[in-house]
């Protein structure tokens, strides 16, 4: 038996009542759906590898701006008001064209940073085990070679963007990069997959401590990786 649920956004109404739409819009403005998640640790918890001031500005100002601007961007599109963030990412090409760039940039920023905070932890250390370790070894043979390849990709991002370790449906791993706030969930990027690890290589992620030395930032970043979270992401 097929039990198919049709979410509200699939229902095409034959007639849209403008008054009802404007009510939904003002309701959404008063109670926006997307919220800034709390950091899962204190600002200084990742010291000395990631400094407290960077964490504070990155989370409280940059991430907050993505959330606020995402809520503003989808205001005129009530059919997306209650979408999950994952659904928004995987269906970004279906977002109305007049708001798509803003939703892509700010929704991507919200998704990417929510992911990024969790992939770091003050209780870092060790290395991945289980299925993730097997998949990493199958591709790169040693952790050192994987980390080298990942750092190389992260260094290759021209300007602002992200480097990702992603898994395809069969669990095969690969490394990819995205510009700006795009991510591998989006149905508009060249290489899609399930993110396992991701690193922010926008200068705002490292400039205060490392200035222009992205390679040094990446070296420090390995010291705060939450491999438990990466293993959970891999599944």
Task: Return the residue nearest Mn ion (CB atom).
Answer: 200
> Contact region for Mn ion (CB under 5 A) — 4-12, 80-88, 201-209, 212-220?
201-209
Query: How crowded is residue 141: how many other Cβ atoms within 10 Å of its Cβ?
Result: 10
User: How are beta strands 161-167 and 194-200 bridged, if at all?
Assistant: antiparallel
> How many residues comprise the chain?
235
Q: What are phi and psi of 141, to 5 degrees?
A: 75, -40
Cβ distance to Mn ion smaller for residue 64 or 194: 64
Q: What angle do CA 168, 170, 171 make, to 5 degrees?
A: 65
Nearer residue to Mn ion within complex by CB, 150 or 202 = 202
Give 173-214 as a DSSP string: EEEEEEETT--TTSTTSSS--EEEEEEE-SGGGTHHHHTT-H
What are the residues whose beta carbons fall under 8 Å from the beta carbon of 157, sequence distance 6 or more?
163, 177, 179, 201
| Binding segment toward Mn ion, per CB under 5 A, in 1-9, 44-52, 190-198, 200-208 | 200-208
Tokens at residue 230, please? 């990466």
Q: Which of 79, 182, 200, 220 binds Mn ion (CB under 5 A)?
A: 200
Residues in binding contact with Mn ion, number by CB under 5 A: 3
Judged by CB under 5 A, the stretch of 93-101, 130-138, 194-202, 207-215 that binds Mn ion is 194-202
Q: Which stretch binds Mn ion (CB under 5 A): 23-31, 90-98, 146-154, 198-206?
A: 198-206
Stretch 203-222: interaction string toward Mn ion, x if CB under 5 A: --x-----------------
Nearer to Mn ion, 78 or 107 (CB): 107
CB of 15 to Mn ion, least distance (A): 43
Give min distance, CB of 24 to Mn ion, in A.
31
Distances (CA, A) of 180 to 11, 59, 65, 119, 227: 32, 17, 15, 19, 25
Interface positions with Mn ion (CB under 5 A) = 200, 202, 205
């Amino acid at each position: 038996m097929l039990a198919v649920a049709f979410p509200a956004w699939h229902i095409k109404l034959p007639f849209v009542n403008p008054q009802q739409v404007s009510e939904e819009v003002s309701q959404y403005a008063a109670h926006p759906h997307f919220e800034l998640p709390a950091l899962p640790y204190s600002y200084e918890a990742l010291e000395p590898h990631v400094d407290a001031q960077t964490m504070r500005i990155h989370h409280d100002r940059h991430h907050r701006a993505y959330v606020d601007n995402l809520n503003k961007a989808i205001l005129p599109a009530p059919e997306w008001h209650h979408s999950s963030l994952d659904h928004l990412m995987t269906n970004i090409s279906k977002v109305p064209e007049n708001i798509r760039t803003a939703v892509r940039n700010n929704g991507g920023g919200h998704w990417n940073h929510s992911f990024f905070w969790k992939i770091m932890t003050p209780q870092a250390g060790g290395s991945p085990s289980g299925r993730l370790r097997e998949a990493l070894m199958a591709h790169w043979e040693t952790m050192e070679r994987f980390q080298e390849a990942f750092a190389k990709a992260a260094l290759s991002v021209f300007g602002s963007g992200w480097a990702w370790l992603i898994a395809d449906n069969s669990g095969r791993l690969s490394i990819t990069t995205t510009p700006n706030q795009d991510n591998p969930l989006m149905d508009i990027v060249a290489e899609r997959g399930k993110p396992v690890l991701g690193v922010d290589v926008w200068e705002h992620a490292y400039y205060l401590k490392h200035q222009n030395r992205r390679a040094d930032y990446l070296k420090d970043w390995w010291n705060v990786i939450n491999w438990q979270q990466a293993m959970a992401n891999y599944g």
